[in-house]
Amino acid sequence: MAKRAKRQSRRAQPGEKSPIGVYPPFTGTVPPIPDGALRPFLPFLPHPETTAPPPPPRPDLAPPPPGFTRSYHAAPAAYPKELKEATGAASRLPSPFRKSAPSENETKEERSARVTAESVECIRIRTDATQWSLDEAKAAAPPGLWLAAERWRRDKPTGGVTLVCTHANGLHKEHWHPILHDILARPAAATEAFGTLAPLTGGQVTIDEIWLLDDTNHGASVDLNAGRLGAAQSWVDDSRDVLNFVQHVLPRVDDDAGWQLRWGAATGAGRPRTVIGLGHSFGGNGLVQAAHARPDLFSGLFLVDPMTPNHFVNHDDAVRNPLQSYYMVPAAMRRRDIWPSRAEAYKALRDSPFFAPWADSIFDLYMTHGIVPVDYSKPDGAVTLATPAWCEAAVFCEPGGPGIGWAKLKSLSMPVAFAMAGDTSATSGPGKGPGRTHEMVWRAALSRNEIIVDAGHLVVQERPVDTADSLWRFLSTLSAGKWGASEGEIRAAYDAAAPPRPRL
């Protein structure tokens, strides 16, 4: 999750839609790409595990739209991981950064000191983590990890696209559900052009398949990887998980796929698919890096306030001033992670400043799938976070992830849609202007953008209807063949757009 920032505009009232703004074509100076930012991924090896863990218990969800069938799967994650410390012996609880359990009567001062110590340990482990070679990984033979995956399959395929959805840090795949239900209920005819809102004619949006993925250290994947999680996480590895799924797992999935999905080495085998990535925040970064590695496998990206700004953390600065360099780590580590019951968790969270702006449809999914029993044999007992605070903190402790995503945006060749928050504090930096964000959304050659003006960084959670509108315009524009074949053509369309809309 991202820290909730102060609004920069009046919030839309219930039932209202947020104004849609736009960043005009960027004409400023672009900094050079740092050395090493475009290094290739560590190659993939066959996943070593022969049997996937069983599916974890979760409450039933609303059924997919008529004509679609839902199924759940364990997908092999990328193997090996780039970081030696990415696998270990950790589970959801307790935190691997905790030296000792807090006392029952822990004071506010003692808790603050404990959170600080755990945050420093989290940063130390990531700062000192080993990026090993393929030969070193082979010799160590670490265990393989899994991704919890959910599939919506059209019962009678129409030749439509396959959507692959990734989520924000600290959250989980189910938050895409209200948006997906919304767009699948719409008539297939194209509507307005993404970014310019120009009228569209021709084209039909057809979706045959949707995949929703939990990152290895998030949501239901934490259950699948219990006792195997490491204390360090690299955004490059998260991107490799996405690419591994699209390149080595998805082509081998047929209509009757069972719980355990299989890995295959040959990249040209299996059913051909037209893949479009949908990613929010940290998940958007994963899609960008995966598409950079294999642009031929992705026909478009829809990025919701993606964490791909030009931001790198200097190693020496992190050693000298760890908490200043990674200020979001203690924010995550402070998160409460145990409640005596689900009802008590709801009471504590719903009206808190962080969750209050969330749409009811999303918050309800958070309560059913983002909060899980501490002990599954006691479903009415104490509950905890499905994505533990220590995993969220480990993601925030990332030196190069955002900047590497920014560097790789430049060479993407497919249509890239940016659906941005009006509050730019996540992508430009707290207290900064929108300049860094403005440059980012025009960085890819075939990029277009929209701004959901009344949204903070958690656009999916706060404005699902507006996000669905934006996604529908993106899919409509692609299906109508009106995206634009060059940077110049797209910029000209933005310059000619009328009537004028808010520009940040």
The encoded tokens of residue 327 equal 């200020």
Cα(264)–Cα(194) distance, integer angstroms: 36
Looking at the DSSP bridge assignments, the partners of residue 417 are: 302, 448
Q: Chain-wide mean pLDDT for the chain?
A: 93
Give the span between the Cα atoms of 286 and 240, in whole angstroms. Answer: 8
pLDDT tens-digit map of 318-352: 999 999 999 999 999 999 999 999 999 999 999 99
| CATH code assigned to 1-11+38-504 | 3.40.50.1820
Q: Is the pLDDT of residue 7 over 50?
A: no
Look at residue 160 in the predicted model and tell me its pLDDT: 96
Phi, psi of 362 (to 5 degrees): -80, -40
Kindly provide the b/e burial profile for residues 418-432, where b requires at least 16 CB atoms within 10 angstroms of the residue's own CB.
bbbbbbbbbbbeeee
Q: Which ranges constitute the DSSP H helices of 225-351?
A: 235-244, 282-293, 315-320, 322-325, 328-333, 342-349
pLDDT single digits (tens) 145-189: 999 999 999 999 999 999 999 999 999 999 999 999 999 999 877
Query: Reduced to 3 states, what is the DSSP secondary structure of residue 124?
Result: helix
Distance between CA atoms of residues 366 and 346, nearest Å: 10
Question: pLDDT category, 430, cuts 50, 70, 90?
Answer: confident
In this prediction, residue 267 carries a pLDDT of: 64
Burial class (CB in 10 A: 0-12, 13-18, 19+), 501: middle
Could you count the other beta carbons within 10 Å of the beta carbon of residue 107? Answer: 9
64-79: per-residue pLDDT in tens? Answer: 999 999 999 999 999 9
**b/e string for 31-61 if b means 16 or more Cβ within 10 A?**
eebeeebeeebbebeebebeebbeebebeee
- Which distant-in-sequence residues (6+ apart) come within 8 Å of 480 by Cβ? 190, 193, 200, 201, 202, 203
> How much is the pLDDT for 501?
60
Determine what percent of the chain falls in helix, strand and coil, rounding each to the nearest 5: 35, 15, 50
- pLDDT tens-digit map of 209-223: 999 999 999 999 999
Q: How confident is the model at residue 271 (pLDDT cuts 50, 70, 90)?
A: confident
Domain ranges of the chain: 1-11+38-504
Residues 6+ apart with CB under 8 A from 215: 147, 166, 167, 221, 238, 241, 282, 283, 286
Average pLDDT over residues 277-286: 98
Whether 395 and 500 have beta carbons less than 8 Å apart is answered as: no
**Rounded-to-integer distance, Cα 107 and Cα 427, Å:** 35
- Distance from C-alpha of 128 to C-alpha of 139, rounded to nearest angstrom: 21
pLDDT of 12 > 90? The answer is: no
List of E strands, 217-292: 229, 275-280
Q: How confident is the model at residue 10 (pLDDT cuts 50, 70, 90)?
A: very low
Nearest to 45, CA basis, from 75, 80, 74, 76: 80
CA angle at residue 118 from 114 to 120, to 5 degrees? 115
pLDDT score of 105 more than 50: yes
- Phi, psi (degrees; rounded to nearest 5) at 191: -125, -90
pLDDT surpassing 90 at residue 2:
no
Sign, CA dihedral 347-351-357-359, equals: positive
3-state class (DSSP) for residue 281: coil
Please count the helices (runs of H) and the strands (runs of E) in the chain: 18, 14
